[in-house]
């Protein structure tokens, strides 16, 4: 029996929200995110945020997902419940 996956390819900017599985695979090229996860997986809402890395460290809210690392900047999907 084949596995079904949900695949989303969207242009996302800071403060936009996206629904996905916490275990999703994410590929990002700066503005477009490609997100894939099993269709039967539980999903939740995330908010796209940016964090600066200072002194080689960064603190992120629990259950956040790092989508992209560029120099001293991270693009992070923060659970909506932690963002509020």
Number of domains composing the chain: 1
Task: Summarize pLDDT for 70-82 with one digit per residue, the tens.
Answer: 888 999 999 999 9
12-36: per-residue pLDDT in tens? Answer: 889 999 999 999 999 988 778 999 9
Quick one: pLDDT at residue 1? 67
Which neighbouring-strand residues pair with 79?
46
Neighbours of 12 (CB within 10 A): 20
Domain of 29, in residue numbers: 5-83
Distances, alpha carbon 39 to alpha carbons 2, 7, 32, 42, in Å: 12, 9, 21, 8
């Amino acid at each position: 029996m084949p596995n079904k996956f949900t695949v989303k390819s969207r242009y996302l900017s800071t403060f936009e929200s996206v629904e996905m599985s916490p275990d999703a695979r994410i590929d990002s090229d700066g503005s477009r995110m490609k997100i894939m996860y099993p269709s039967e997986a539980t999903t939740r809402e995330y908010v796209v945020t940016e964090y600066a890395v200072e002194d080689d460290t960064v603190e992120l809210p629990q259950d956040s997902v790092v989508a992209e690392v560029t120099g001293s900047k991270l693009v992070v999907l923060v659970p909506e419940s932690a963002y509020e």
